[in-house]
């Protein structure tokens, strides 16, 4: 029990530290690599929660694909150091800070005042694994949602190719 506590706080510190580094960094590539650190730390948290499959998918999709895609986005567009480093106006940043801090205060009080029912320590070795998730995906309740997600991904990728290619070809 003590080890999982240490792992939890280590991963939380890693994720929040990476996110803070992302905000304070001035170069776009450094931002993306600190985001990759955040993605990996959160994958660790998923595994700590008992959701190994989601954690591994997180590593593949986020730390693998999305990070590489973002690096491509940075490389294919021009980034003057001044442009990346330049912040928006001071009033805009102040307003954004007030909005974010206000939202956090509201969420903090909502979460800390709620009395969640105490949970009897569930047996961690019998948690739902890949098999249960697969059965649920293909069960009659969720099969249409699952197919819809596949169609969404397919149309998104075709749309992305069409848009990034640009032009209709006959110009």
Partner 1 sequence: MSEIALTQYLLFGAMLFVIGLYGALTRRNAVIILLSIELMLMSANINLLAFGRYGGAVQMQNPDATLAHYVFAQSQMFALFNIAVAAAEVAVGLAILIAIYRLKETANVDAYDTLRR
Site for partner 1 in 77-136 (CB under 8 A): 77-79, 83-84, 86-88, 92-93, 95-97, 99-101, 103-104, 107-108, 111-112, 116-123, 126-128, 132-133, 135-136
Q: Is 92 left (phi over 0), alpha (psi -120 to 50) or beta?
A: alpha
In the region spanning residues 148 to 167, those forming contacts with partner 1, defined by CB under 8 A, are 149, 152-153, 156-157, 159-161, 163-164, 166
Q: How many CA atoms lie within 13 A of 150 on its CB side?
A: 7
State yes or no: residue 63 binds partner 1 (CB under 8 A): no
Kindly state the smallest distance separating residue 140's Cβ from partner 1, in Å.
14
Closest to partner 1 by CB, 140 or 145: 145
Tell me the C-alpha to C-alpha distance, in Å, between residue 9 and each of 15, 41, 96, 107.
Answer: 10, 11, 28, 20
Candidate residues 40, 44, 51, 63; the one interacting with partner 1 per rule CB under 8 A = 51
Tokens 């974010």 -> residue: 100
Q: Is 57 in the site for partner 1 (CB under 8 A)?
A: yes
Residue 41 near residue 15, CB atoms below 8 Å: yes
The mark string for 7-26 relative to partner 1 (x by CB under 8 A, - otherwise) is -x---x--xx--xx-xx---
Number of residues written out for the chain: 171
User: Interface with partner 1 includes 74 (CB under 8 A)?
Assistant: yes
In angstroms, the CA 124 to CA 147 distance is 31
Question: Residue 54 interacts with partner 1 (CB under 8 A)?
Answer: yes
């Amino acid at each position: 029990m003590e080890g999982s506590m240490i792992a939890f706080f280590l991963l939380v510190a890693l994720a929040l530290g990476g996110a803070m580094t992302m905000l304070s960094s001035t170069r776009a590539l450094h931002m993306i690599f600190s985001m990759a650190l955040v993605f990996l730390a959160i994958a660790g948290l998923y595994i700590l929660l008992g959701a190994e499959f989601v954690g591994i998918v997180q590593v593949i999709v986020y730390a693998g694909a999305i990070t590489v895609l973002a690096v491509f986005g940075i490389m294919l567009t021009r980034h003057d150091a001044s442009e990346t480093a330049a912040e928006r106006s001071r009033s805009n940043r102040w307003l954004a800070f007030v909005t974010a801090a206000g939202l956090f205060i509201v969420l903090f009080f909502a979460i800390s005042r709620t009395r969640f029912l105490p949970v009897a320590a569930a047996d961690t070795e019998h948690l739902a694994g890949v098999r249960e998730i697969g059965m649920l995906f293909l069960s009659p309740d969720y099969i249409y949602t699952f197919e819809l997600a596949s169609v969404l991904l397919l149309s998104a990728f075709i749309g992305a190719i069409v848009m990034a290619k640009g032009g209709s070809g006959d110009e």
